[in-house]
Structure 1
Amino acid sequence: MTTEQLYQRYRESGTVSTDTRNIIPNSIFFALKGERFNANEFAAQALESGAKWAVVDEAKYAVDERYILVADVLSTLQDLARYHRRQLNIPIIGITGTNGKTTTKELLYAVLSQRFKTYATKGNLNNHIGVPLTLLSIDDSIEMAVIEMGANHQQEIAFLCDIALPTHGLITNVGKAHLEGFGSFDGVKKAKGELYDFLKMQDGVLFLQGDNEYLREMEMQRGISKTVRYGFSSENDIVGRLEYANPLLCISWKTDDTKDVHVVQTQLTGTYNIENILAAIAVGHFFGIDDIRINHGVEGYTPTNNRSQITKTVHNTVIADYYNANVSSMEAALANIAVIEAVYKVIILGDMFELGEDAWIEHRRVVDRALAVEAKRTIFVGEAFYAQRNPKAEFYKTTDDAKEALRERPVVDSTVLLKASRGMAFEKLMEAL
């Protein structure tokens, strides 16, 4: 079956499924394979659960006309998404970066939805499977889409751009993450810069954090002609400023061609989120959304999924930021807690993963940075941090050990930063705070 023929069946069904636990009636089921599973084995179950067709790549499972046999299910899914994207005559904004991708994506959605019927990546479906699934969720009613793109190796962003064909794009920032896959910080810049390469080739529009020296350098190297700049200095098209953080951010912003200043009280914490907010403002302004609607979109956004999420417990105010962690996001979180207005501050940091041979030195750097912040207690958790232990702070090998210590010596009346890689399971600590 050709891609065009499969696309006709997709148009008839209107949707696709990949998980037999959540089959959408009349969908096309794609039997993907992974290291520990082979969904070909569950194709019959998918049909019994309501799928109309099942795409498989092992002939023994294609027992009747409801099965579509292909050479490779994943490649077929990607080809179908690429074909569908080419039928969509809408702006698509591609987002990548080391930190802040998901928050920025959600802020863009909150702002753009004030005027346009917008679709954005759900959750973290930002890889070689998630991006195709996102594109195939876009129907004819959608006027604009925001596609998040993640990567931990070279050429992944280029591959995703070839499927999603972004007309506009932005890189939130570049930092030290996934160094095992990228090899070095220069490798990170090269990989993320693949989005800039695509925009240059397609004469697309770039939204640039104009005060970020790395992003400016990456843009200048490519000579992108259509660039909208946002940041804090007056040279930017959208200029922002922090008014206060207590711990929620209040910011002001203006365009470079007017004296009108707009003040926005957000539901976000983290000074590092100011540039994510300004990115959404810049995109909204570019697409002609008026200032009042832009502010309404930003003010209405509340973070979830433990990304800079404020949680009020019985005893404390907790900044839950343990969905992910790397060197750059750790430093940003520490810079934020340093400026937050609070009587007592407690810092609890957990190990960062995927740092490769730089793990020891980067964990040492974070320890030094954390100890420079005035706090009532500073606590480090995990094997990598434990190797850096010194008498100026508390160190625990496991999250359970730290939880027990917090029960023995409770934290009360404090603003607490919880920051760690997801694998540290820092949600356990919430029970002790």
Structure 2
Amino acid sequence: MITTEKLYSHYQENPIISTDTRNISTGCIFFALKGDNFNANEFAQQAIEKGASYAIVDEEKFASDQCLLVDDVLSALQDLARYHRQQLNIPVIGLTGSNGKTTSKELVNAVLSEQYKTFATFGNLNNHIGVPLSILSITKDVEIAVIEMGANHQKEIELLCTIAQPTHGIITNVGMAHLDGFGGFEGVKKGKAELYAYLKAHRGYTFINRDNAYLMEMSTKAGLDKLIYYGTENGNTIKGSLKSSDPFIEIDWTNHDVASTVKTNLTGSYNFENILAAICIGDFFDLTPEQINAGLSGYQPKNNRSQLTQTESNSVICDFYNANPSSMSAALNNLSVLTADHKIAILGDMFELGPESAKQHELIVKQASESGIDEIILIGKDFYAYKNEITATFFQTPAEASTYLQEKQIKDSLVLLKGSRGMKLESLLQFL
């Protein structure tokens, strides 16, 4: 059995980690993870033949000089990341929340990179595998890291904190997400608060939206004392107000009585608090207002989150990377107040809601029907259950909806396209 220390010496010589034989680079270390339907131990030798220096396996029959044996490959990956983190003497900002995690992470990184050499989680590599991979991607020249942490059940954030070991942290918000795994909304709060518990135990700094009653309650319960506040009221380190959000967000903000205004390329008034959080963190790390504004105004949203895309025929708000009741409600509210001659909401089912699913879909159906939006298109079996409840167009699958959109040929409209990742609503964009 190879020790973590010995494995780390190999990692220092070959600091590239792979978990997929389709993405083997010369000199990398391949971790043969197991899943419900695969056993990557079986592909360890293939990884070596493709150029990996070593493969990490946990079945003795696959071990060799280059296929190094450990008790459990996943645990070995996590332990290696912990060991690497302990060698890094830099601020690590741990970031979680029900909505806005990835956008907030990108904004914080955009701001801090105006002054520092930064690292931020790639995409949404934010789980028990993604966080170790992110930590192991931090090089010696990085000055600040921003690590996104996602969870769909309790104790997951607690685990990720032991790997990322954040010195600073932020919970963007708590909402109706992953209710099935967390066991309801109170379970969501308890799960996200695991970041607060870690920061309290390790005397870390916490950035908190003072306008959010849930976060204030959770921070008080955790006994946090190193708090940096942002919000819309006086008394915060950063105070902000929404100047415009039609279609792009512009905000006024002050720090230490210095007033500033910044216009961004983000749509959706719900992103106001994410922008304010990035300002607060930038200010804490001594960036000037000019640097902060440059980072925010230069950020271009991507990954189909609050991304306004111009097609040949329409303006489309691409927000179909994921969805839950909180983000869906916010997106509908945003669309209802935007200026456009004709507005359409195309919504797909929301997943991982457990026993709450029927109720939450019903609430979104009701909100959509009362929103004043010109046309509502609802897709998926959960929404389809309400096809006789409101005036809307219903489809059970995206394939059915694509046929309809091809025939209808929507033009000159502002379209919201939002649903859970599993609905694959990106397939509809070509018809808009």
**Superposed displacement of residue 3, structure 1:** 1.2
**AA at the equivalent of 1:411:** I
Is this contact kept in 1: 2:28–2:53, CA < 8 A?
yes
Shift of 1:208: 0.4
Task: Give the Å deviation of 1:317.
Answer: 0.4
8 A contact 1:245–1:341 mirrored in 2: no
Query: What does 1:109-148 correspond to in 2, within 5 Å?
Result: 109-148=109-148
Match of 2:314 in 1: 316
TM-superposed deviation, 1:237: 1.6
Please show how residues 51-90 of structure 1 align to structure 2 within 5 Å.
Answer: 51-63=52-64, 65-90=65-90
- SS of residue paired to 2:291: helix
Instruction: Find the counterpart in structure 2 of residue 151 from structure 1.
Output: 151
Provide the secondary structure at the position in 1 that maps to 2:152: coil
Conserved 8 A contact 1:210-1:216: yes
Query: In the alignment, is residue 406 of structure 1 matched against residue 409 of structure 2?
Result: no
Amino acid paired to 1:70: V
Judge conservation of contact 2:369–2:390 (CA < 8 Å) in 1.
no
Equivalent residue, structure 2, for 1:176: 176
Q: Which residue of 1 aligns with 2:9?
A: 8
Distance, in Å, in 2 between the alignment partners of 1:39 and 1:428 is 31
Partner Cα separation in structure 2 for residue 360 and residue 372 of structure 1: 19
How many residue pairs get aligned? The number is 430
Contact 1:316–1:413 (CA under 8 A) maintained in structure 2: yes
CA distance in 2, matches of 1:284, 1:318: 31
CA distance in 1, matches of 2:269, 2:203: 32
User: Which blocks of at least 5 consecutive residues in structure 2 are unaligned?
Assistant: none
Write the mapping of 1:218-367 to structure 2, written as runs, cut at 5 A. Answer: 218-255=218-255, 257-258=256-257, 260-367=258-365
Q: Deviations over 1:174-230 (max 9, x none)?
A: 011111111110000000000000001111000101101100110111221111111
Unaligned runs of 5+ in 1: none
For residue 234 of structure 1, report the CA deviation from its aligned partner: 2.1
Partner Cα distance (1:288, 1:299) in 2: 18
Residue 217 of structure 1 corresponds to: 217
Which residue pairs with 1:48 in the alignment? Answer: 49
Q: Distance in 1 between matches of 2:244 and 2:396?
A: 36
TM-score normalised by the chain length of structure 2 = 0.97
Mapped partners of 2:43, 2:286: distance in 1: 47
Take 1:407 and 1:75, find their aligned partners in 2: how far apart are those partners? 49
Partner AA of 1:32 in structure 2: L
Task: Check the 8 A contact 2:31/2:73 in 1, yes or no.
Answer: yes
Partners of 2:235 and 2:269 in 1: CA distance:
21
Deviation track 1:214-255 (CA, whole Å, cap 9, x = no partner) reads 001101112211111112222322111111122111112112
CA deviation after TM superposition for structure 1 residue 357, in Å: 0.9
Closer, same or farther: CA 13–407 of 1 in aligned 2, 3 Å:
closer
Per-residue deviation at 1:391? 4.1
Offset at 1:323? 0.6
CA distance in 1, matches of 2:334, 2:240: 17
Aligned residue number for residue 202 of structure 2: 202
Paired amino acid for 2:246: N
SS across alignment from 2:394: strand
The answer for the alignment partner of 2:392 in structure 1 is 393
CA contact (8 A) 1:249 1:268 kept: yes
Give the drift of 1:84. Answer: 0.8
Per-residue CA deviation, residues 95-150 of structure 1 (Å, 9 max, x unaligned), is 01001100111111111111111001111110111111111111111111000001
Alignment-derived partner of residue 423 in structure 1 = 422
TM-score by length of 1: 0.97
CA contact (8 A) 1:246 1:342 kept: no
